[in-house]
Structure 1
């Protein structure tokens, strides 16, 4: 069931009025082939008719296109195409007009000025999507997915955002809440008959239900680690001693000459960063200065920056030269990185193409080690698969059938829900009174309801929608 205005009593006193007609540029600012100016609200069609010379829009059906000119009095500003959408069959569920003009800043500013002088108000950030949410077009989780879809820059982030926008996550949450609401109602009924000491809710059935719901909530919560990776990418530092081949590896992974490669030790003095997508996951690789003791002032600054960057990394690729490194030295060097607890360190042996059989054998069976020849590209496919495994994407359902949590706000609400569900289970095992059970169950339902906006407030909505671009 979609939320409606009556479902959101908590947001009745919004700082903006739904009776206003809003206008904004919905395409990126700057010169381009086309610019699209969007209006939404009760006066959208009338205001456009006042400046549009073409068929009277007030007499036209929705979902139609109309050619004409925009005029300020007798002065023609531009030839345009107007798209007409009548509420509730529009994005915001209000009357919406979209004016496609030539992509000139001057034309756009003239048009916005014309419309605001006639009574339209410049839209706030995300106000079109906020109106769609308030009119019940979709819930809050779906609204947030709109912003994620706009920001998606990989196949997986696009796939996850699209599924959430289409209601996959919301449906799963509604199913969870629906299973809990029935029992919550029975507990509330017991409170109404408290003096008669009756039980309407089967405690055994409630325990089983809570365990099932708790398992589903925790699965969603666990998916946030992967969701965060899909949404924000993985900062991966390439560290190692000078001349290990770090810059060569970066160039090979990016398939371009991004970093300077030289036989002279200490060539890389500063951090070089670039991104590459591996099966839909964004990795931000950071090429760093070689780790060694040095009296060179500039190089020592680079080494210090490397150590600081290791502390901030989600993943460290420690590159070593197979020919000049022993297994014991490798262990000591990795330990000397002092990577934070929880940061994965993948040892990568380079120059396998020129290493001897015994040198290769010394590392071939070491766990968490990949052998490559960066200059020739040998072993890079295996390296990519190891990187994917370290960010736990092996179990990802690439059909989009599984729900993945990508939003920090959603993860926090799920954490609150699981805490309250644990409290209900503890109360049931200890024989707690109905009042305490009902209170904890209400809190769990509220936490789940915050995700979809069934329970919300002004500050929450303002925080979410101000992160949107103007015109969306």
Structure 2
């Protein structure tokens, strides 16, 4: 792309709406738009000061395209640092395209994805990490991800990195100076002070690296798999969590043959719930594929909810056959076979054990469903038999709020509440890891009393990785990859 061109793009979503905003940026932005605009005040747009609004018509020769409101921003006091015009027109797709095509005919070029923000970065209006935060802010879907994007866009993360880089650069300069006086054997950089600085940088970098595990799930949402045997209430639980009829609920076992996913915000954190196919032995080819996908989703999830139906348990202390008035429909069914009455409590515990053994690192919540059909004594018995058991009723909603609070405990929101810097970008995370590796080498070199020229090599590499984050060191390929993910018009 030619960054000297004057560019134009629709800055609001495509489609019909009350209004649309067309953004123009570049050296010739005002001179291109001014002849096409007839102000109600009769003023010439080319002579108007920055940060002013003007009502009038956009005209193509003698044809009026629309009555619009034009905003003027003279560089460098604009988003891009260049002369910028924003045209607020009526939201007809026809009007939008007529105005954009007119501007292109008069000398503008259609903007590439993220080109406005790219120009903002290149013109020094923001650093690279702040520019990336713009995309995160646009895509934020919950309070936590919005808060992190705002913090990064305001420079919280980049300021911390710049401060570390500046301090390291000062010592690096002194060590480089020592190399110029190698024959005199002088020492300009105090090794004790430098060692203290390196240890402090190590501590900050490690904290930032560790924060990525929290930042990544906050940014992308926490996947939660709902698993269990067929017809135990998994789809009902998904609907209860989402507070809508998202999944089909049926008494027929094996209704869910593929995964169903949806996301909600709990306490400002995004959770992506995945309703999976019931786990059981089956000869149905389609259902078998669904069960295979269930285990794939368990491996991808960060939290697993194992659900079982308490009303169908075959156990002396919890047996539907002794409650004919409470479960008449299950009594007649249980007379035909033991299997139809559901598994024993021991079989449930075996299934729980299998999941724990197969996925030992994943948090597993055991949910006893349909407690509205059990007595308090029966619920207490279940809790005595299964550790860390939570009792719920997906149908009535009992225990669902407690489940949501439990899920929040798996997210370390302390740093978020304290407004600490949290890393959410994988590019930043990789650069921090590499910077930490180089800083560790510097520390090892100091401990081994290595010469300044050897220390300088590792310091330069650490500074390079710091610069990668803020964009002080970059290349066209990196910029292309970053801004290609932006929307057109931003």
- The alpha carbon displacement at 1:172 in A equals 1.1
SS in 1 for 2:366: strand
Contact 2:379 2:391 in 1 (8 A): no
Equivalence for 1:35 = 20
Equivalence for 2:393 = 373
Contact 2:415 2:421 in 1 (8 A): no
- The alpha carbon displacement at 1:395 in A equals 2.1
Cα distance change on mapping 1:394 and 1:130 into 2, 3 Å: closer
Contact 1:168 1:403 in 2 (8 A): yes
Equivalence for 1:93 = 81
Answer yes or no: is 1:285 the counterpart of 2:285: no
Question: Residue 128 of structure 1 is aligned with which of 113, 116, 121?
Answer: 116
Equivalence for 1:50 = 35
| Distance in 2 (alpha carbons) for counterparts of 1:287 and 1:360 | 28
Cα distance change on mapping 1:366 and 1:437 into 2, 3 Å: farther
What pairs up with 1:67-82 in 2 under 5 angstroms?
67-82=55-70
| Distance in 1 (alpha carbons) for counterparts of 2:88 and 2:379 | 66
SS in 2 for 1:98: strand
| Distance in 2 (alpha carbons) for counterparts of 1:57 and 1:326 | 81
Bigger mean CA deviation after superposition, 437-446 or 110-119: 110-119
| Distance in 1 (alpha carbons) for counterparts of 2:55 and 2:406 | 56
- The alpha carbon displacement at 1:236 in A equals 1.1
SS in 2 for 1:178: helix
SS in 2 for 1:161: helix
What pairs up with 1:39-438 in 2 under 5 angstroms?
39-54=24-39, 55-322=43-310, 324=313, 328-337=346-355, 339-340=358-359, 342-356=361-375, 357=377, 360-364=380-384, 367-390=387-410, 392-398=411-417, 401-438=419-456
Equivalence for 1:452 = 470
Per-residue CA distance 1:129-153 (angstroms, 9 max, x = gap): 1111111111011111111111111
SS in 1 for 2:416: coil
Equivalence for 2:331 = none
Cα distance change on mapping 1:365 and 1:185 into 2, 3 Å: farther
Per-residue CA distance 1:267-289 (angstroms, 9 max, x = gap): 32232221111111111111112
- The alpha carbon displacement at 1:359 in A equals 5.3
Contact 1:317 1:347 in 2 (8 A): yes
**Which consecutive residues of structure 1, in runs of 5 or more, have no partner in the other structure?**
1-14
RMSD over aligned CA atoms reads 1.9
Contact 1:226 1:393 in 2 (8 A): yes
| Distance in 1 (alpha carbons) for counterparts of 2:94 and 2:413 | 51
- The alpha carbon displacement at 1:339 in A equals 4.6
- The alpha carbon displacement at 1:461 in A equals 1.0
Cα distance change on mapping 1:137 and 1:121 into 2, 3 Å: same
Q: Normalising by structure 1, what TM-score?
A: 0.92
Cα distance change on mapping 1:394 and 1:464 into 2, 3 Å: closer
Contact 2:168 2:463 in 1 (8 A): yes
Per-residue CA distance 1:395-449 (angstroms, 9 max, x = gap): 24325x2111110100000000110011011111122221121111111111111
Contact 2:415 2:422 in 1 (8 A): no
Q: Normalising by structure 2, what TM-score?
A: 0.88
**Which consecutive residues of structure 2, in runs of 5 or more, have no partner in the other structure?**
314-342
Contact 1:364 1:371 in 2 (8 A): no
Contact 1:310 1:339 in 2 (8 A): no
Equivalence for 1:3 = none
- The alpha carbon displacement at 1:341 in A equals 5.6
| Distance in 1 (alpha carbons) for counterparts of 2:344 and 2:413 | 32
- The alpha carbon displacement at 1:305 in A equals 2.4
Per-residue CA distance 1:89-123 (angstroms, 9 max, x = gap): 11111111011111122222221222122211111
Cα distance change on mapping 1:340 and 1:194 into 2, 3 Å: farther
Deviation >6 Å, runs of 4+: none
Contact 2:349 2:386 in 1 (8 A): no
| Distance in 1 (alpha carbons) for counterparts of 2:84 and 2:358 | 54
Equivalence for 2:325 = none
Cα distance change on mapping 1:108 and 1:362 into 2, 3 Å: closer
Cα distance change on mapping 1:305 and 1:358 into 2, 3 Å: same
SS in 2 for 1:227: helix
| Distance in 2 (alpha carbons) for counterparts of 1:82 and 1:359 | 67
| Distance in 2 (alpha carbons) for counterparts of 1:119 and 1:262 | 61
SS in 2 for 1:353: helix
Equivalence for 1:6 = none
